[in-house]
Every structure is written in C-alpha cells, then in structure tokens.
Structure 1
Amino acid sequence: MANIAFILLCHKNPEGVIQQARQLTAVGDYISIHFDASAPKEAFNRIKSGLADNPNVTFARKRIKCGWGEWSLVQATLYALEAAEKAFPRATHFYMVSGDCMATKSAAYAHRFLDDNDVDFIESFDFFESDWIKTGIKEERLIYRHYFNERTQKWLFYQSFWMQRRLGLKREVPADIQVMIGSQWWCLRRRTVEWILDFTRQRRDVMRFFATTWIPDETFFQTLVRHLIPEEEIRTRTLTFLMFSDYGMPVTFYNDHYDLLLSQDSLFARKISPEARDLRQRLGQLYASDREDFQISNEGNQLFKFLTGRGRIGRRFAPRFWETETSLGRDKELLIVACKKWHVAKRLLGSIKHHTNIPAIEYLFNEADTWLPDLGGIQASLGKRTRHRRALMRMLFDYFDTDRLIICLDTASIDLMNDFYSDRASTRLLEIECEFSDEYLVGHAKRVGLAGAESSQETIDRLLPTIRYDVTYERERIRDANYPNHWRIRERAPTEQNVEPIANFLTVGEETARGIANTAHLFVD
C-alpha cells in the first residue's frame, strides 16, 4: 500500500499550515515542511508547537529565504526532501505541494491510484525543442549565470544579463544532461528520490550549473528524473490540477468549484482561496474519507476557456498591415454559408456543388482537416489561414480560376464576416437557422471538450443555459451587424419558403434553388 510523504513549501498562514498538515497526516501519510526563513520566527514556532505531538510531521533541517525564480526554492525543496527521506522510511512516494494545495480525492483513492501506477509523475518536456515557455527569455535562463532576482532586483538582473551577453560569457550545459522543463508539482517514487539525492551529492558540477540558472524549479527535478529514470517509468504530467488565465496567472478556486475539482483527473488542486473556508473544509474531510466513486470528466480547462471567453468580442490583436491593405478584388464575389451545425452546412454545400458549378470549400477557418489545395504552406494550419485570410482567399480564387467562391463559417466567426464584408469584393451571406435540442447541445459540449463522458448531470444542467445563450447570442450579433446581401433559411420553415433566399444568395433560377432546398435529410442530426 502506498504511503505518501508530502513535501510542503510555505511562507505564510501558520494556522492554515497546521490544519493542512493535520488533514494530510490523519490517514497515516507524512509531511515534511519548509517554512520560508523570510517569515517571522514566531510564525514558524507556532507551526512547530502546533504539530509537536504529530509523529508524521518533520521539518527541513535548515530554513532558508526563498525568492521566486531563484535556486533557493530548489534548495528548500531538497532540504525538505532529505528530511522526509530520512524520517519516514515507510514512505513510498513523495508529493510536492504548496500551502494553497488541497486534495481533490480521498486518501484511499490516491493510494490505490499510486499502487496501480508504478511510475513517476512529473512534467518533463525538452527545454529547447518544446514550446513550454510562452513568453520571456528561454535559452538565456541556462547559458548565462543569474545571481540576482528579476522581480526584486530588476536593474541588477538585466545589467548582469546584458553584460554577460556583450562579453560573450556563454556557458555550456553539462555534456551528459538533456535539460527538461515542466511544472514544479510532481509525485516521485522513493527509489527515484533516493537516486536524486545521491546524484546531488555526486555531481557537484550539475548542482553548480543549476544554482545559477533562472527559475530552476521548472527544470532541476524535471531534468534529473528524465536523466535517471527509464522513459517508460515516467508519466509526463502532474497529478495536481491547476489552470492559468491567458495572462499567465494561476486561477484561484472558491467554494462553488467543489464538483469541478472532484471531476478532474488529478489528486490535488491549486490554488484554493484562503477565503474559501467551506471548500477547504469539504476537501479536508474528503481526503480522510473512504470515498472512491469519482466520475472523471476532465473538462476543467476547456470549460474555463469557454466561459472566460464569452465577453471577449472582436480581435485580440490589430490586423497586420498587409491584411488591412489587401483586397480580394473588386471583381470577386465571396459567398458565405454560416451555420452552427456544420453537418447541415456541408450537406447544403454538397447539394449546391451538384446543382451549380460554383467552387465551394467547407469550414476552412474552423476545421483543421478541411480539404484545401497546396498553396505553399499558407493552408497548413488554422492559425496561418486566419492570420492571412485575405491572401488565402485570393489564392483560392486563383486556384479555382473563378470570380465566385463559396465558403462555410461557424456563426461564431463574426470577426471573419466583418473582415470580408469590409473588403472591396462583393460579399453575400446565407445564414442557416437550426433548432437545438438539449441532447444536441450536450453532445456539442462533449465534442468540443466542455463536458466529458462522465460529467455529472449537475454540471450539464449548469452548462446548458450558457451554451444555448451562446448560440442565440451569435445569431443576434449577425443580425445586429446589418449585413447587406444577407439571407436566411430556417429549419422550421416549409421548404418552399427557403427557395427564394437560396435563389437570391446564389443568383440562380427558382428550379435550381428548389432542388437545393429539397436536399434530402438536410436538417437531420
């Protein structure tokens, strides 16, 4: 049976630390605490006295002052790890947590999970090849020596950095080391920890190297585990659920996130708000329970992106100058079929191609695997297509050697509609208004990752009104745009009523439009 020794780095809230330690050790697990030396000594003494009667608690042999991005965070972790390895010989796993972390599963579930998965859980992606670092310096974290803290000693940090750069004082990564990067929240087996501690005593060159890198808590353990442990015994993921906003800030969880946290494929979560007393109490009780009936839907990150993105209308960045100045051409006519149900639009497009000779492309800005001709790489990804949309459309007009072209767009793509309508080319729009049952919307939520196969009915019930409103809101935005040459066909309308809008949109005869309107099973889900 697995026994976990938690490695806790903390710097505040002594009462919270005491409560967290009691909750995690109540079922027989252990905890090793490093309390930042920058915090008042009285606070540390309060923690020691509050946990003095708990044999499953130990403390790092030395307290040091820690700074974000500094080696001190790794050194503090090593001090706590050494203390835990020595004090708790029965510990089978060592799990890194902070004071903001709390369990989202029971101890029984966590122990069984670790028993069933004899591997180390740690994010470890190639430092140079991966895109794990989104902003800021990258290789400069390693090839230059960092003695100052960028947050508290910004001027000294950058003066040192630029001086080394001007003087060419680059250094090499230790020859036998492949530097990896990932989240600092890991869970390692005892054998792995013992090998890491032995490595730190034997390889002083590697220790000196990492001691002057920037943000080593994202690289040190990640690199050593990959260096020491066979690949098949590593799971490149963290067991701690965390989310980041698009500003790079960690998302904080509150009382109403309880069900969401339990449904994620993780054992812990951060950051739990100190004010979320009800959530903290419920999660604390959960860890001590015998509950194992957790339904894992894992929709947290997709759901967060969906809900936080609802109010962000318009483009995130200004268009590039070659996009704003480029036109499809005054002689060109772009026909847009807008529909939320992609399969309906695709059926209509197939019928249009059968009845007319107008070239048509399906959801080229919404669906990555839409067929497109080879256009020199501009068609390679959705990102490229969207960034260079006008250039892409001009190339498609040239490829098909036509002045008329039909494309499909999701009704959410109003920014693309606005852009095309602002062009000197003639733009026409046919909106397909479909009906949406609750069953369809639930299926849609699962297809796009807003809900999982095991999402609870309570989660679905809370999500449905938001998705339905979102569909309605997209329709209203298209109406409010007051586009010229805008027609609409409806699922509820008799087929004969849809003939005229199709005829006007395509500028075809009534019989041709009627044949298209009579497309078999057009609106069937």
Structure 2
Amino acid sequence: MATIAFILLCHKDPEGIIEQAQRLTAVGDYMAIHFDARARPADYQRIREALRDNPRVTFSHKRAKCGWGEWSLVQATLYAVQAAVADFPRATHFYMLSGDCMAIKSAEYAHDFLDRDEVDYIESFDFHSSGWIKTGIREERLIYRHLFNERQNKRLFYKSIDLQRRFGLTRAIPQDLQIQIGSQWWCLRRRTIEAILGFCDSRRDVMRFFRTTWIPDETFFQTLVRHLVPETEISARSLTFLLFTDYGMPVTFYNDHYDLLLSQDYLFARKISLEAHEMKRRLGQLYAARGVSFQISNEGRSLFQFLSGRGRVGRRFVTRFWETESSLGRERELMIVICKKWHVAKRLVEQIRQITGLHCVDYLFHEGHTPLPDLGGIQTNLEKRTRHRRALMRMLFDYHKTDRMVVCMDPSGLDLLHDFCSDRAQTRLLEIECDFTDDYLSGHARRVGLAGDRTPPEVLERLLPTIRHDMTFEADQIRDSDFENLYRIRQHQTPAENAPAVARFLGVSDSAAHDIVALDHLFTD
C-alpha cells in the first residue's frame, strides 16, 4: 500500500504548519519540512518544538533563503527530499506541498489512488512547443544566465538580459536533455526520487545550468523525470488542484468552496485562505475518515472561467478596417434567427427551407461542424469565420447565387449582430424567446462543461440562478441595442400570435408564416 512522504515548503503560519503535519502524519504518512531561512527564526523554532516528538516528521538538514523564480526553491526542495529519503525508508511516494495546500480527499482515497497505477504524477510538457508559458520571457529563461531576481531587482534583471543579448552571450542547453515545463506540484515514486538524487550527484554540469535559469522549479524536476523515467510511467498531470486568474495570480479558496473542491479529480488543493477556518476543520476531519465515497464531476476549472468572465461583457476587438469598408451588398437581405436553444432555431429554419425555399445556414459562427462549402479556407474554423465574418457571408451569397439568406446566431454574439446590422445590406433579426426550466439549465451546464454527471445537486442549485441570469442578461443586451428591424416570437404565444412577426421578418404572407411556426414540437426540449 502507498505510503506518502510529504515534501512541505513553507515560510509562514506556524500554527497552520503544525496542524497540517499532525493531520497528515496521524494516518501513517510522513512529512519533511523546509522552512524558509528568510522567515522569522521564532516561527521555525515554534514548529520544531511542537513536532519534535513526532517520529513521522523530519526537517531538512540545511535551509535555503528562498526567492520566487530562483534556484533556491529547487534547492530547498532537494534539501527536504534528501531528508525524507534518509529518514523514511518505507515511504513509497513523495508529494510536494506548500503551507497553504490541504487535502480534499480522505487518506484512504489518496492511498488507493496512488496504488491504482505505477506512475509518476508531474506536469511535463515540451518547453519550446507546448505553449505552457502564457506571458513573460520564454527562451530567455534558459539561454541567458539569471543572477538577479526580477521581483526584487527588476531593472538589473532586464538590464542583464539586454547586455547578454547585445553581446551574444547565450549558452547551450545540455545536449542530452529535452527541457520540459510544468507545475511544481508533483507526486513521484521512490525510485524516481532516488534516480533524481543520483543524477544530481553525477551531473554537475546540469546542476550548474539550472542554478542560473529563471523559474527552475517549473523545469528542473519536470525535465529530469522525462530524462530518467519511461514515458509510459509518467502521468503528465498534477494531483494538486489550483487555478490562476487572468492576471496570473493563484485563486484563493474559502469556506464556501468546500463542496466544489471535493468534487474535483485531485487529492489536494492550493491555495486555502488563512481565514477559511471552517473549511480547514472540515477537510481535516475528512482526511482521517474512512469509507467516504466521492462524486467526481471535475467542473471546477470551466466553472471558474465562466463565473469570472461574467461582467466582462463587451467587444474585445474593434472591427478590422477591411471589414468596416466591406459590405455584403446593398441589394442583399440577411435574416438572422437569434435563439439560445439551438435545436429550436434549427427546427424553425428547417421549416423556412421547406416552405419558402430560402437558403438557410445553422450556427456557422458558433458550431464548428456546420456544413459549409469550400470557400478557400476561410470556413475551416470558428476563429477564421468570426474574424472575416463579412467576407464569409459575402462569399456564401455568391456561392449560392442568392440575394436572400437566413442564418442562426446565439444571443452571446452581440458583436456579430451589431456588425451585420451596420452593413449596407438589409438586415433583419428574429429573436426566439424560450422558457428555461431548471432541467434544461442543468443539461446546458453539463453540455458546456460547467457541471458533470456527478456534480452534487446542491452545487447545481447554486449555479442555476447565475446561468439563468446570464441568459437574461444576453436577451436584455439585444433589447437595449435598439436594432431597427428586430422581431420577436415567444414560446408561450400561439402560432397565430407569432405568425405576423415571422411574416415581416421573412417578407412572406401571413399564411406561409403561420405554417412555419405551427410545428407542434417547435419548442420541445
């Protein structure tokens, strides 16, 4: 059975560290602690005094003065790993933690999880081609020597890079290593850890190289594991759940995130607020519990992106000048059906096809597999279609040799509606107002990844008002835009009541419009 030696890097909150060590070792696991040498000596002594009689806790024999982005973080990790390997010969796995991490599963679940597969868990992706780095310097992390800390000496940090670039002072990456990158929060098997320590002793050239790279805690272990372990024995993921904001800052979890964290497919979470006393208490009790089953839905990441994006509504990019000057054609008519329930809009436009013979296209700006002719590549993906929206529509008019066309759009595409309504072509809009039951919203949440099949009902219950408000907000935006030729049909109205709006939208007779909206199952979910 798996036995874990936790590698804990910390620099504050001595009470929290003591509680964490006692909690994790009480079930039979171990812990090696590295407390930052820059931190308060009194805090370190307090931790050592509280844990000195715990045989399952050890301390790194040396302490590094840690700085963000520096080699010192890797060195601190190695110090703690060396202590854990020497003092805990029965440990089968070594798990990296910080002081603000907490278990979000029981120890029983964690041990069973690690026993399931004989692999190392570590994010490990190609440094140059994976796109893992989103902002900041990339190749410069490796090919230049970094002697200054960017956060402490920003001017000297970038001046050093500039001088090395100006004088061509690049250096070679060790030829036998393919540099990898990923999260520093890993869980490695004992034989992998021992192989890494042996590699560190024998390859001083590699150690010298990484000592002056930038942010080596994201590349050192990741690269060595790929170098030393067969690919089939590596799971390129972290077992610690963490999120980052759009500004690159880690998301902090509070008491009301308890249920969300338990439903994620991870063993630990980072980072837990110092003030989240209730959640810490509950998670502490959970770790020692036995026979607990967990419903894994794993919607946390997509849910965070959805909720954090609310309120940031608006156009991200202005219209390109070549699109502004282009036109679909003054004599052409573009009729746009707007509906959040795509299946309802598709039924309506199918009726329009059959009864009027108009050419209709489904959600071409929202659905990648919408059937489109070959238009020279502009139709290949949603990004291209949206970027060259007017050119795409003009080519569709030309391809089908028609001056009248119906397309479907989602209410979220407000920028598309504004753009087409500002064109010299005659643009008319038909909004389909549908009812949204809780069952439909639950299904919608699952379809878009905000929830899973095993998402607890209470989580869905809290989420549904937000989704409903989001849909209402999109509809309100359309109304507030005061589009000149906007017509509306409603689910609760009779075909006779909806027909006049469809007739004006399509420019057909009332009887033809009535035949279109009289479909029995038009609004059925």
Regarding TM over 0.5, the answer is yes
Q: CA, structure 1 residues 328+166, in 2 after alignment: closer, same or farther (shift >3 Å)?
A: farther
Q: Could you tell me which amino acid in structure 2 is paired with residue 494 of structure 1?
A: T
1:269 counterpart letter in structure 2? A
After superposition, residues 195-274 of structure 1 pair within 5 angstroms as 195-274=195-274
- Please list, as runs of the form range in 1=range in 2, the aligned pairs for 1:68-147 lying within 5 A after superposition: 68-147=68-147
Instruction: Give the structure 1 partner of residue 481 of structure 2.
Output: 481
| Seq. identity, % | 66
Larger deviation, residues 272-281 vs 497-506: 497-506
CA distance in 2 between partners of 1:36 and 1:233 (Å):
32
Secondary structure of 1:519's counterpart equals coil
Q: Aligned equivalents of 2:78 and 2:377: distance in 1? A: 48
1:374 aligns with 374
2-structure distance, mates of 1:93, 1:34: 18
Greater CA drift, 490-499 or 352-361: 352-361
Unaligned runs of 5+ in 1: none
AA aligned to 1:96 is: M
Note the C-alpha offset of 1:390. 2.7
* 3-state SS in 1 of match to 2:31: strand
Distance 1:407 1:388 in 2: 16
Q: What pairs with 1:274-423 in structure 2 (closer than 5 Å)?
A: 274-423=274-423
Q: CA deviation at 1:10?
A: 0.9
Equivalence for 1:502: 502
Which stretch of the first structure deviates more once superposed, 207-216 or 260-269?
A: 207-216
Q: Which amino acid aligns with 2:233?
A: E
Moved more, 321-330 or 11-20: 321-330
Query: Equivalents in 1 of 2:9, 2:320: separation in Å?
Result: 46
**CA distance in 2 between partners of 1:337 and 1:320 (Å):** 25
Q: Secondary structure at the match of 1:80?
A: helix
Partner-residue secondary structure (3-state), 1:373: coil
Counterpart CA distance in 2 for 1:128 and 1:394 is 39
Mapped partners of 1:472, 1:282: distance in 2: 36
Distance 2:412 2:515 in 1: 28
Q: Which amino acid aligns with 2:38?
A: S
User: AA paired with 2:156?
Assistant: L
1:401 Cα offset (Å): 3.3
State the TM-score, normalized to the length of structure 2. Answer: 0.96
The one-letter amino acid paired with 2:245 is: S
SS of the residue corresponding to residue 78 of structure 2 reads helix
Amino acid of the residue matched to residue 195 of structure 1?
Answer: A
The CA deviation at 1:305 is 1.5
Larger mean CA deviation between 297-306 and 317-326 belongs to: 317-326
Q: 1:239 to 1:422 in 2, by over 3 A?
A: same
1:193 is matched with which residue? 193
Residue type of the partner of 1:405?
M
Cα 1:305–1:169, aligned 2, differ >3 Å: closer, same or farther?
A: same
1:485 deviates by 1.0
Aligned to 2:514, the other structure's residue is in SS state helix
Alpha-carbon distance in structure 2 between the residues aligned to 1:93 and 1:325: 63
Which amino acid is the alignment partner of residue 74 of structure 1?
V
Where does residue 440 of structure 1 map in the other structure?
A: 440
Q: Matched residue of 1:406: which SS? A: strand
Letter in 1 for 2:365: F
Aligned in 2, Cα 1:72/1:320: closer, same or farther, shift over 3 Å?
farther
Q: What CA RMSD, in Å, does the superposition of the two structures yield over aligned residues?
A: 1.6
Alpha-carbon offset, residue 212 of structure 1: 1.5
* Aligned equivalents of 1:123, 1:361: Cα separation in 2: 42
Instruction: Indicate the larger mover: 404-413 or 68-77.
Output: 404-413
1:7 paired residue number: 7
Number of residues of Structure 1 aligned to a counterpart in Structure 2: 525
Structure 1 counterpart SS, 2:340: coil
Deviates more, 1:278-287 or 1:367-376: 367-376
Assess, with a 3 A threshold, how the Cα gap between structure 1 residues 94 and 336 changes in structure 2: closer, same or farther: same
Other structure's SS at 1:305 match: helix
Give the 3-state SS of the residue equivalent to 1:160 in structure 2.
helix
1:173 aligns to 2:158 (yes or no): no
Question: Residue 454 of structure 1 aligns with which residue?
Answer: 454
Once the two structures are TM-superposed, the CA of residue 291 in structure 1 deviates from its matched residue by 4.2
Say if 1:479 and 1:156 are closer, same or farther in 2 by CA, change over 3 A: same
Aligned-partner Cα distance in 1 for 2:89–2:325: 69
CA gap 1:472/1:54 in 2 versus in 1, 3 angstroms = same
Q: How many angstroms apart in 2 are the aligned matches of 1:274 and 1:238? A: 23
The residue type paired with residue 336 of structure 2 is I
- Indicate the residue corresponding to 1:519 in structure 2: 519
Q: Give me the whole-angstrom Cα distance separating, in 1, the residues matched to 2:428 and 2:27.
A: 67
Q: Name the structure 1 match of 2:37.
A: 37
Distance 1:324 1:396 in 2: 18
Q: Which is further off, 420-429 or 102-111?
A: 420-429
Structure 1 residues 325 and 69: CA distance shift in structure 2, 3 A = farther
SS in 2 for 1:427: strand
Residue by residue over 1:2-45, the C-alpha shift from the partner in whole angstroms, topping out at 9 and shown as x without a partner, is: 11111111111122211111111111111111111111222211
Where 2:7 maps in the other structure, the secondary structure is strand
Q: Return 342-351 or 398-407, whichever deviates more.
A: 398-407
Amino acid in structure 2 at the alignment position of 1:481: S
Q: Can you list the C-alpha shifts for 1:116-136, whole angstroms capped at 9, x where unaligned?
A: 122111111111111111111
Distance 2:41 2:130 in 1: 42
Q: Which amino acid counterpart does residue 421 of structure 1 have in structure 2?
A: C
Flag the 1:329–1:169 CA change in 2: closer, same or farther, 3 A.
farther
Letter in 1 for 2:88: F
Please, which runs of 5 or more residues in structure 2 have no aligned partner?
none
274 and 343 in structure 1: CA distance in 2 versus 1, 3 angstrom threshold:
same
Code of the aligned partner of 1:169: L
Give how far 1:358 is off: 2.8
CA distance 1:325–1:97, change in 2 (3 Å): farther
Deviations 1:390-433 (A, max 9, x none): 33333333333333322211122222212222333322101111
CA distance in 2, matches of 1:280, 1:324: 55
Query: Which segment drifts farther, 424-433 or 264-273?
Result: 424-433
Amino acid at match of 1:419: D
Separation in 1, partners of 2:432, 2:62? 68
More deviation in 303-312 or 388-397?
388-397
Moved more, 377-386 or 364-373: 377-386
Post-superposition offset of 1:325: 4.0
Distance 1:321 1:249, change over 3 A: farther
Distance across 2 between alignment mates of 1:430 and 1:392: 21
Could you report, residue by residue, the CA deviation over 1:273-315 in whole angstroms, capped at 9, with x for unpaired residues? 0011111111112112214311111111111122222211212
